[in-house]
Copies of this chain bind each other. A is one copy, B any other.
Amino acid sequence: MANYGTFYGIGVGPGDPDLLTIKAARVLNNTPVICVPKSAEEAGSLALSIIEKHVDLDGHEIVELLMPMTKDQEVLRQARETAAETILAHLRQGRDCAFITIGDPLFYSTFSYLMALVEEREPQVWIEVIPGISSVMASAAATRIPLTEADERLAVIPATYGMEKIREALERFETVVLMKLNRVFDDVCGLLDEMGLLERAHLISRCGHEQQMLCKSLEGLKGTKIDYMTIMIVKSNGRHTGENRCPEVA
């Protein structure tokens, strides 16, 4: 029987190197092959720059996996296949491989696709996922806005879903987190203005990075160019439906 390496999916957190978990740092220091996602546009890998403080990279083979920033499903599929085969080649030689990802490996990350491909092709490979601090938790911490209290509900929605879906969520959930804002920021501002929620919306850009930007209200921000790594936390309190908060079962 082949002696496969273990495949690790490791979340490195939002940007602050000290938000790496102790487990992630230990496993990374003990794993010979570290795979990093990289887009053609990037000069270096952001995930790699995060771990450098706590992982001595000299003793490791660093494998860059090209992940194009595209909506073309066929291009994406091929890039993932190529990346999975690169990883599998190491695993088949019995070498442990870690794929590092910003935030958490199972929350909007390429890792979940690679995990599925590795599992499909070599079902005997042991896969371990080490969770990371997601940008949602880090953004709440940076702005000190409670995400959820008591029996509040939370919705996380890519803003590209369309304004009607966002409106629906704002009407129903006490807290709505919008991801992938950059291309629809003005539309979202328009919707929040209409719903009287501009002052209840908080914007967090590049959380934990040197260029971090926090805005505790959206008043006057319409028209601003928004970074790709920006999320919005709206404390709508589901008030538009006149619902009671905190109902309890007997």
User: Chain A: residues with CB nearer than 8 A to chain B?
Assistant: 11, 13, 16-23, 25-26, 54, 71, 104-108, 112-113, 115, 127, 129-134, 137-138, 140-142, 144-158, 160-162, 165, 168-169, 172-173, 180, 183-184, 247-249
Interchain CA distance A184-B141 in the complex, whole Å: 31
A-B contact pairs, 28 of them (CB 8 A): A11-B137, A13-B21, A16-B23, A19-B21, A21-B21, A22-B25, A104-B137, A106-B140, A106-B144, A106-B147, A107-B137, A108-B148, A108-B150, A129-B140, A131-B138, A132-B137, A134-B134, A134-B137, A148-B156, A151-B180, A153-B155, A154-B155, A154-B156, A154-B157, A156-B156, A160-B248, A162-B247, A183-B249
Checking B19, B180, B183, B249 against A22 with a beta-carbon cut-off of 8 angstroms, the contacting residue is: B19
Interchain CA distance A39-B50 in the complex, whole Å: 38
Copies in the assembly, this chain: 2
- Closest-CB distance, A229 to chain B (whole angstroms): 16
Contacts of A149 in B (CB 8 A): 108, 112-113
Contacts of A162 in B (CB 8 A): 247, 249
| A243 nearest CB neighbor, chain B only | B165
- Closest-CB distance, A79 to chain B (whole angstroms): 14
Interchain CA distance A90-B155 in the complex, whole Å: 37
- Closest-CB distance, A57 to chain B (whole angstroms): 17
Interchain CA distance A243-B153 in the complex, whole Å: 22
Contacts of A155 in B (CB 8 A): 153-156, 173
Checking B106, B107, B130, B247 against A161 with a beta-carbon cut-off of 8 angstroms, the contacting residue is: B247
Do most interface residues of chain A lie in helix, strand or loop, or is the interface mixed? mixed
Interchain CA distance A132-B105 in the complex, whole Å: 15
**A104-B147, A106-B147, A130-B141 known, 16 other contacts, Cβ within 8 Å:** A19-B130, A20-B21, A22-B54, A104-B140, A106-B137, A106-B140, A106-B145, A106-B148, A107-B148, A108-B148, A112-B149, A151-B180, A152-B158, A155-B173, A160-B249, A161-B247
